[in-house]
Amino acid sequence: EVQVVESGGGLVRPGGSLRLSCVASGFIFRNYTMHWVRLAPGKGLEWVSYISNTGSARYYAASVKGRFTISRDNAKNSLFLQMNSLRDEDTAVYYCARGWFCGATSCSMDDSFDVWGQGTSLTVST
Amino acid sequence: VVMTQSPLSLPVTLGQPASISCTSSQSLVYSGGDTYLNWFQLRPGQSPRRLIYKVSNRDSGVPDRFSGSGSGTDFTLNISRVEAEDVGVYYCMQGSHWPPWTFGQGTKVEIK
């Protein structure tokens, strides 16, 4: 079964740090780009970050740039999100989502956001 | 690219049709000719689920009462006959002009 499972959420004080993890199974992880997306209470879905299948390209939403770092370990089928300088407004459920399939020479954009995890909850509060 | 959905709240009667509109601030036609506009369903207590990709392609396992249409900057998600399990929030998302990938505000579908 194709799936991704997030973990690492919790309660953190403003200014604190946390690292989220996402473990993939059922597909060849190294062939796919990956995303983090969040859903804050009472708000809509917000794209947070992207990483290419090799890890060479990374993009961030303006709201987290400079504070969050996305990374991956293809040998362990794992995706990470290091979150520093956390703010109240970072409180959300964080989802990892599968992105594009990338072959030897190109990527197919059809597969984007077709697989989501159950999410891991982050609360930033005093 | 800003994605704008309407309505934001949609009370519907069971068995009746429903329609959600999504407008992008610029054309979503990608350089290769495809249009990367997805629709997602977020049921209460569940993870987002992709329903439609590239405007009108239904994902595996999605009931055929869901359909997507549109082109350029204007897109629509239609539910031909709403069922109780369709309650939730629906989002459009563009994947043609990135980063960032952008979602609409969401449309809450509820039963009257």
DSSP H helix total and E strand total for chain B: 0, 11
Q: Which residue of B has its CA nearest to A5?
A: B47
- Alpha carbon separation from B1 to B37, B49, B54, B73, B104 (Å, rounded): 12, 22, 16, 10, 10
pLDDT in tens, B8-58: 999 999 999 999 999 999 999 998 899 999 999 999 999 999 999 999 999
Least CB-CB distance to A47: which of B34, B102, B105?
B102
B89/A contact by beta carbon, under 8 A? yes
Question: Contact A113/B91, CB-based, under 8 Å?
Answer: no
Question: What local confidence, expressed as pLDDT, does residue A30 receive?
Answer: 97
Distance from CA of B62 to the nearest CA of A (A): 12
Residues B18, B81: Cα–Cα separation, whole Å: 7
Question: What local confidence, expressed as pLDDT, does residue A49 receive?
Answer: 98
Least CB-CB distance to B105: which of A39, A44, A60?
A44
Are B65 and B80 in contact by the 8 Å Cβ rule? The answer is yes
Interface of B with A in 13-52 (CB under 8 A): 30, 34, 36, 38, 40, 42, 47-50
- Alpha carbon separation from A31 to A21, A34, A116, B88 (Å, rounded): 18, 10, 16, 32
Instruction: Give burial (CB, 10 Å; 0-12/13-18/19+) of A77.
Output: middle
Question: What local confidence, expressed as pLDDT, does residue B28 receive?
Answer: 97
Question: What local confidence, expressed as pLDDT, does residue B32 receive?
Answer: 81
A44/B contact by beta carbon, under 8 A? yes
Chain-centroid distance of CA B50 in Å reads: 9
pLDDT in tens, B78-91: 999 999 999 999 99
pLDDT at A110 over 90: no
pLDDT in tens, A52-103: 999 999 999 999 999 999 999 999 999 999 999 999 999 999 999 999 999 9
Provide mean pLDDT across the span B70-83: 98
Question: What local confidence, expressed as pLDDT, does residue B36 receive?
Answer: 97
B90/A contact by beta carbon, under 8 A? no
B93/A contact by beta carbon, under 8 A? yes
Mutate to test the interface with A, among B49, B50, B101 (most CBs of A within 10 A): B101
Q: Residue A12 pairs with which residues in a beta bridge?
A: A124
Provide mean pLDDT across the span A10-22: 98
Question: What local confidence, expressed as pLDDT, does residue A97 receive?
Answer: 98
Residues A38, B59: Cα–Cα separation, whole Å: 22
Question: What local confidence, expressed as pLDDT, does residue B57 receive?
Answer: 96
| Residues of chain B contacting A116 with CB distance shorter than 8 Å | 47-50
pLDDT at A19 over 90: yes
Residue type, B16: Q
